[in-house]
Structure 1
Amino acid sequence: MDKTIVKGMQVLEALVAAQQPIGVSELARQVGLTKSNVHRYLQTFIALGYATAADSRYSATLKIWQQGAKVIERLDLRRTIRPIMDQLARATLETVHLAISDGADVIYIDKAEGVHSVRAFSEIGERAPTHCSATGKIFLAYHPTALRETLEHPLRTYSPRTITDPDTLVAAVEAVRAAGIAINRGEWEAAVGGVAAPVWGPDNQIIAAMGLALPLSRFGEENSTVLIAQVRAAAAQASRTLGASVSQIEGEARLVA
């Protein structure tokens, strides 16, 4: 066990538990450390956004709550939406992902496996780049900061089909926003395709993206229309389950004629 991390967490937990802003001396007494050590930890927490200081007294910020809320949200989200994901996997026979936004990436927080012996491989907790994955493009279209954070750095090439030009990506994102659906045909992994749709919450904010991942050999023109409709319907059902408004679901889930 790393004693430095343990001591730092003791300081942070004591700061969170304090009913009012607290000084270094009192905090050091509570955790049994020297004032210099506590002061060093506090400066680190301030730099990371977990603490704030005023008049030589320290308080925890809401960043602690924000991180905990993300964990709670993920657990409730998975439990609520998993039956819909299972239903979609049975209907399409393909692997279904549930992803959330994390800056220039998305994170797969759940999946329902397809039944084909040859299928797209993925793991819960795996990250995917937003600019070349179907679930990622959903967040670029609807999340308030995902596109900006993605464009802060050069767009990495993953396959010959990866979009690396910022203007081209912006145009692609606008098309996703207009259609309410995102498609990936070998942009991240050359032989893998995907289709995804947004999952909305009761406050009309995007909560997650639900999508299929499948080999491009099974994602041809003849079946893509059906798969798109199935993903769209499943994501809309998930949104309704989470309490999203009908106007939000219907307004953001229109196909472009």
Structure 2
Amino acid sequence: MSVASPAAPVRDDRAAIDKAVSLLTSFGAQASTGVGVSELARRSGLSKSTAFRVLGMLERNGVVERTGKGYRLGERLHELGTSVYAPGQDHVRDLLIPFLTDLYGMTRETVHLAVLHGTEVVYLAKLYGHRNLPVPSRIGGRMPAHCTAVGKALLAYDEDAAEEALTAPLRRFTATTLADPGDLSLELRRVRQEGIAYDEGEAKPGLHCIAVPIMGRTGRPVAALSVAGAAGRLEAGAHASALRRVAAAASREVSRLRLVR
């Protein structure tokens, strides 16, 4: 009578996890609207019976949920995602959303609200502008701080985060990305002097952004606001003025409510 190897359950568990991840990443843009089992099986390279079985396990754990004849991503995934962010971000987002809305009304461009998490920025909110321009940011998504306007606006006033960013390898996304620590240090100094940060195609060619920090009572930033648009079309002067006004009002509200930072 043969005895199962102690390593066998580990291999089986790993295979199950691989299948689950393949299914979850197969939802794509239809994550909230739903996808049928046959289509998910096709996208993930699994048989329909295997996809159905794994989806059943995910459903029991709240990771996916039924919608008609298909499935969509469930609440549990959102809870797991937000748990890795800094505490209090929901409160920051809810407090500052009205100011983001004001900024959108002034510019009609794509606008962002973001916070710093280590040496990355986390986008808490985004409103799309009237002009269709693909922007790599997404709500809940992250980007390295050094290649974004919001990131530089936040790093400039956070000494610890700036030091960490300057001593780590700086990934180059485009030809204009500040991938040299000396160049980035000079840029952060300029941001502190002028109170405004720029991204001139550093995250994506042809995409320009300008950003300002929202300051807390202790002189450290709580979050940052940005305006994004196509290079050559973004009205930097007018938008900088709108950004400064909205950020100043948001900073006053943060101080009034004694939000810690």
TM-score (norm 1): 0.64
Matched, 1:91 2:103: no
Q: 2:246 aligns with which of 220, 231, 234?
A: 234
Report the AA paired with residue 235 of structure 1: A
Question: For 1:67-78, what aligned pairs fall within 5 Å after superposition?
Answer: 73-78=88-93
Matched residue of 2:214: which SS?
Answer: strand
Conserved 8 A contact 2:86-2:117: no
SS of the residue corresponding to residue 187 of structure 1 reads coil
Aligned to 1:250: none
Q: How many aligned positions are there?
A: 178
* Aligned pair partner of 2:97 in 67, 82, 102: 82
Give distance in 1, aligned partners of 2:211 and 2:173.
19
Residues 68, 175 of structure 1: alpha-carbon distance in 2 compared, 3 angstrom cutoff: same
Name 2:157's counterpart in structure 1.
Answer: 142
SS in 2 for 1:218: coil
1:155 equivalent in structure 2: 170
The answer to whether the Cα contact below 8 Å between 2:147 and 2:203 also exists between their aligned partners in 1 is: yes
Indicate how the Cα distance of structure 1 residues 188 and 244 shifts in structure 2: closer, same or farther if over 3 A, else same.
farther
Aligned to 1:224: 236
Partner AA of 1:143 in structure 2 = D
Q: Which consecutive unaligned segments of at least 5 residues does structure 2 have? A: 1-15, 18-81
3-state SS of paired residue (1:114): coil
After superposition, the CA RMSD in angstroms is 2.4
How far 1:171 moved relative to its partner? 0.7
Q: If the length of structure 2 is used for normalisation, what is the TM-score?
A: 0.63
- Structure 1 CA distance for aligned equivalents of residues 83 and 121 of structure 2: 18
Secondary structure of the equivalent of 2:156? helix
Q: 1:197 aligns with which of 212, 225, 229?
A: 212
1:179 equivalent among 194, 201, 211: 194
CA distance in 2, matches of 1:74, 1:121: 21
Q: Which residue number in structure 2 is paired with residue 28 of structure 1?
A: none
Partner deviation per Cα, 1:31-58 (whole Å, 9 max, x = no partner): xxxxxxxxxxxxxxxxxxxxxxxxxxxx
Contact persistence 1:119–1:214 (CA under 8 A): no
Checking the alignment, whether the CA contact within 8 Å between 1:140 and 1:147 is kept in structure 2 is yes
Which of 170, 192, 202 is equivalent to 2:185? 170
CA distance in 1, matches of 2:209, 2:256: 24
Does the 8 A contact of 1:90 with 1:114 survive in 2? no
C-alpha separation in 1, matches of 2:121 and 2:93:
15
Q: CA deviation at 1:241?
A: 1.1
Summarize the Cα distance change of 1:244–1:181 in structure 2 as closer, same or farther, 3 Å threshold: farther
Q: Which of 109, 120, 138 in structure 1 is aligned with 2:135?
A: 120
Partner of 1:145: helix, strand, or coil?
Answer: helix
Residue 72 of structure 1: how far off its partner (Å):
5.0
Closer, same or farther in 2 for the Cα pair 1:242/1:99, shift >3 Å?
same
Structure 1 gaps of 5+ residues are: 3-66, 246-257
* Counterpart AA for 2:213: P
